[in-house]
């Protein structure tokens, strides 16, 4: 009731929720109370949280921030939402997001932009801006999110909260509406590393309904939070401290690094030479995959359907024209172009080759170090409409986060000081399946 009341009072100004589960949440909370009284509780029994509106929730609208799915009530649960139900956690509602998770500012949602709780004219970051803003404003203790090129870490940084993108394959993508399938990964946004560890304990599971989910035991991520980080070898990629980084941001990252040194870590400069190519490679690969994934929204089986189509072609054409927003259409067109005969080798294949070079850069770096540290985003939260009409300006927001997705590695953003009275994030990148270490270092730092 406390959180539902807070949402009612505060969310009209923030717009961080698309759907609030007022009645269902109270029913679930009462049922959880009964379980707790009967001594039959799991760690999450009765704990409120929220889901990004990209996770299919049985019987509860799942819009993915799009008019296309404004009428979509899934007949099934995603594996992530199922896992929370098994625990009898209490879902407060579904959080706002950029349409189909495409964006870095949460300005492309069909349900309107989300406001950063730190300033009424500031973006919360994207695409999981609703989850990050809701956690920052204490409308929910934690929320699920997804990250294809930075959508957990960047909004967490801009809202002053903690976000973790796990290794690709750690969290099932079943029932998580697909954007770019080889990059998408679900993960938590929470106040602290400890809360994020508790979230990941539930989100991570092996699932044979997702062929890319990796069969591997899920450790208790809270068990190693208090380990010492004495002797840990941390790499600072020199390419992350480039002209893309605001000088005040650089200062904050350097202060954070000093703190890690005080905790016993050894710091070393490393190089990830292909960092500069990550944005161009991503903005070929992600649109290519999105153009294929979004072809399912054809107005036939579910989603938006135009009025009175005159034939099948008209049905497809008008349903998609009406249902998708500008950024989604731009991505579909770029992707279809990059995949078309004659251009595939020049763009898609080339981007995949660059992706391999980026992955190899990380593999080489991890021969000598345990963890990479750097900024999460080039600047703190920026103003609404501040990137103008040039989509590339927005795409450059992802410069420090995207290479992690291309390589499939886990990455985390934690609050690390303020610039211009706004929170900034410190990014930690680990080797494959090293989430426990990311959480441990973050917990020690916090």
Positions marked active-site: 52, 127, 151
Residues 6+ apart with CB under 8 A from 130: 15, 16, 17, 18, 52, 53, 95, 96, 97, 106, 109, 114, 124, 143
Kindly tell me which of 96 and 151 has the beta carbon lying closer to ligand GLN.
151
Kindly tell me which of 48 and 150 has the beta carbon lying closer to ligand GLN.
150
Question: Judged by CB under 6 A, does residue 441 bind ligand GLN?
Answer: no
Which residue is listed with tokens 């905790």?
Answer: 263
| DSSP symbol at 277 | G
Contact 63, 53 (CB under 8 A): yes
Kindly tell me which of 20 and 157 has the beta carbon lying closer to ligand GLN.
157
CB of 286 to ligand GLN, least distance (A): 5
User: Quick one: which segment of 23-31, 77-85, 146-154, 347-355 binds ligand GLN (CB under 6 A)?
Assistant: 146-154
One of 53, 398, 434, 435 touching ligand GLN (CB under 6 A): 398
Q: Helices H, strands E: what count in the chain?
A: 14, 11
One of 151, 162, 167, 376 touching ligand GLN (CB under 6 A): 151
Residues 6+ apart with CB under 8 A from 415: 157, 160, 161, 162, 423, 424, 425, 426, 446
Number of residues that bind ligand GLN (CB under 6 A): 13
Question: Judged by CB under 6 A, does residue 147 bind ligand GLN?
Answer: yes
CB of 147 to ligand GLN, least distance (A): 5
Q: Is 145 left (phi over 0), alpha (psi -120 to 50) or beta?
A: beta
Kindly tell me which of 111 and 179 has the beta carbon lying closer to ligand GLN.
179
Separation CA 256–CA 259 (nearest Å): 5
Query: Strand order of the sheet with strand 371-375?
Result: 17-20, 90-95, 48-52, 142-147, 185-190, 162-165, 411-419, 422-430, 371-375, 233-237, 266-270
Separation CA 12–CA 17 (nearest Å): 9
CB of 292 to ligand GLN, least distance (A): 15
Kindly tell me which of 146 and 222 has the beta carbon lying closer to ligand GLN.
146
Kindly tell me which of 126 and 323 has the beta carbon lying closer to ligand GLN.
126
Kindly tell me which of 318 and 387 has the beta carbon lying closer to ligand GLN.
387
One of 48, 117, 150, 160 touching ligand GLN (CB under 6 A): 150
CB of 16 to ligand GLN, least distance (A): 17
Q: Which two tokens stand for residue 181?
A: 């399938």
Q: Show the site string, 152-181: x = touches ligand GLN by CB under 6 A, - = not.
A: ---------------------------x--
Separation CA 62–CA 58 (nearest Å): 9
Q: Which two tokens stand for residue 118?
A: 């730190």
Can you list the positions of beta strands (E) in 223-265? Answer: 233-237
Q: Show the site string, 271-310: x = touches ligand GLN by CB under 6 A, - = not.
A: ---------------x------------------------
Contact 422, 377 (CB under 8 A): no
CB of 29 to ligand GLN, least distance (A): 31
**Footprint of ligand GLN on residues 69-128 (CB under 6 A)?**
101-104, 127
Report the interface residues with ligand GLN, using CB under 6 A. 101-104, 127, 147-151, 179, 286, 398
């Amino acid at each position: 009731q406390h959180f539902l009341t807070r949402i009612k009072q505060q969310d009209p100004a923030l717009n961080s929720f698309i759907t609030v589960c007022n009645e269902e949440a109270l029913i679930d909370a009462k049922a959880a109370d009964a379980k707790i009284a009967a001594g039959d509780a799991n760690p999450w029994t009765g704990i409120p949280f929220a889901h990004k509106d990209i996770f299919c929730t049985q019987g509860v609208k799942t819009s993915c921030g799009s008019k296309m799915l404004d009428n979509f009530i899934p007949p099934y649960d995603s594996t992530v939402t199922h896992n929370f139900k098994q625990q009898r956690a209490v879902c407060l509602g579904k959080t706002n997001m950029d349409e189909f998770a495409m964006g870095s500012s949460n300005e492309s949602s069909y349900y309107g932009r989300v406001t950063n709780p730190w300033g009424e004219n500031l973006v919360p970051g994207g695409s999981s801006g609703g989850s990050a803003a809701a956690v920052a404003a204490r409308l929910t203790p934690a929320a699920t999110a997804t990250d294809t090129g930075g959508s957990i870490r960047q909004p967490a940084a801009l809202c002053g909260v903690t976000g973790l993108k796990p290794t690709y394959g750690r969290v099932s993508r079943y029932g998580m509406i697909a954007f770019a399938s080889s990059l998408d990964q679900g993960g938590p946004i929470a106040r602290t590393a400890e809360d994020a560890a508790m979230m990941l304990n539930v989100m991570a599971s092996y699932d044979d309904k997702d062929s890319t989910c990796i069969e591997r035991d899920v450790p208790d991520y809270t068990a190693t939070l208090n380990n010492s980080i004495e002797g840990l070898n941390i790499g600072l990629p020199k390419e992350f401290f480039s002209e893309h980084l605001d000088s005040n941001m650089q200062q904050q990252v350097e202060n954070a690094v000093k703190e890690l040194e005080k905790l016993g870590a050894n710091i070393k400069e490393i190089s990830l030479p292909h960092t500069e190519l990550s944005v161009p490679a991503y903005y070929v690969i992600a649109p290519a995959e999105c153009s294929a994934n979004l072809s399912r929204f054809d107005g036939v089986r579910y989603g938006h359907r135009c009025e009175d189509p005159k034939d099948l072609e008209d049905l497809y054409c008008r349903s998609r024209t009406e249902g998708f927003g500008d950024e989604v259409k731009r991505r579909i067109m770029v992707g279809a172009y990059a995949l078309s005969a004659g251009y595939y080798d020049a763009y898609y294949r080339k981007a995949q080759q660059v992706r391999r070079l980026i992955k190899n850069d990380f593999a080489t770096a991890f021969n000598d170090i345990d963890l990479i540290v750097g900024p999460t985003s080039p600047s703190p939260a920026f103003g609404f409409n501040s990137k103008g009409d040039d989509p590339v300006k927005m795409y450059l927001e992802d410069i420090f986060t995207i290479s992690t997705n291309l390589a499939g590695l886990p990455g985390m953003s934690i609050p690390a000081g303020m610039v211009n009275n706004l929170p900034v994030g410190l990014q930690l990148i680990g080797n494959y399946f090293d989430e426990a270490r990311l959480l441990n270092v973050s917990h020690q730092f916090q």
